[in-house]
Amino acid sequence: MGKLNGLSLFANIGVAEAYMGELGIDIKIANEIDEERARFYQEVYKETEMICGDITDDNVREKIVKEAIKEKVDFIIATPPCQGMSEAGLRLEFDPRNQLIYYAIDVIKKVKPEFVLLENVPKQLTTKIKFGDEIYLIPDYIKKELENDYTFNNETLVMAKDYGVPQLRERNIFLLVRKDLNYKWEFPEKEPEITLRQAIGDLPSLDPLLREGLEFTLEKFPDYEIKRQAGLAISKWHYPPKHSWKQVEWMMHTPTGKSAIYNEKYYPQKADGTPVKAHHNHYRRLKWDMPCRTIIQNNGVMSSLACVHPGRMYQSIAGENLYSDARVLTIYELLIVMSLPLDWSIPEWASETFIRKSFGEGIPSRLIEKIMKALLQQL
């Protein structure tokens, strides 16, 4: 395989880059606007020069370009924020975040790398952006700016589940090759799906830590501490998430793959018993026999979209059918479904909320690894 020098734009905490070093891709420079994420990235990838700053700032962008040319960067990965287009977001017309592709393209045109990977949500294909007096669909704008110098892949929609990742997560990815090179970069052949049962089914069951306190937790879950220790024996990141008792009770009565909003008695409700208005995928348990649903930013909250552990049915002392693991996925389980290395060096200072949000904005590591391998095998 050949060696590549890379630049990562909108780098987040470096989820996409987790296996690039093993492939012989040296990410020389990275850019991230958020100081906390930039600090995380720098601690994980100590050899990379992290340029923390706003890419829309001409001085910041000029520094990125200057350093990229100096380091002979021949590969750029750009993953602009997707919140302006995401199905889970507000999707405001002409959201300023959607315009960020302009600045990524500006860097690409000035650095002139041999290869480019541009990633975003599928909604990018039908999202409009405005430049001057002109309005473009994002794909049309990208091709207008780059197709004279680069060839594009034929198929751009890809599902992470098809490439060794136990998560659905559909993405739109443009793979660009500079026209003076004799390569054709397409997605590799699809692989068999990995279900949640295969991915996390053997991990120890965990009871949630109740917000009402440890004493109340032990009252409701006498085996809480035994299970917690069993989880920690696997990994320090496989520890009980914290939830309120009312939500836990709702989920204890919710079968695998179902949403609590359809429960006859233990459904999401206000103090007066009024049902909580919710989407059909809120308070929903995941399914064992399919890959995980897409990990979103708010994956630590049970009321978010399909983020509760599948659970297993058991009978209470009173003979009632209940379901275990009334909780969201642990950080360790998220590492697995994001296909990150299980020993990934997460900084000790990073809070659980920060880690979860950053994972929700990341692109699964193995997906990028497989796509990059398809190119590197030709070099």
Task: Identify the three-state secondary structure at position 306.
Answer: coil
- For the question of residue 82 being annotated catalytic, the response is yes
Catalytic residue among 52, 82, 292, 307: 82
CB 236 within 8 A of CB 229: no
* Alpha helices, H only, the chain: 20-23, 35-44, 58-70, 101-111, 138-146, 196-200, 214-220, 224-234, 245-252, 331-337, 352-360, 365-376
**Sign for the pseudo-dihedral over CA of 293, 294, 296, 300:** positive
Bridge pairing between strands 242-243 and 209-210: parallel
Is 112 buried (19+), middle (13-18) or exposed (0-12) by CB count in 10 A? middle
How big is the CA angle at 163 (ends 159 and 164), to the nearest 5 degrees? 125
- The Cα 169–Cα 338 span in angstroms is 10
CB 283 within 8 A of CB 253: no
Is 352 buried (19+), middle (13-18) or exposed (0-12) by CB count in 10 A? middle
Residues 6+ apart with CB under 8 A from 341: 18, 19, 335, 365
CB 257 within 8 A of CB 289: no
Active-site positions? Answer: 82
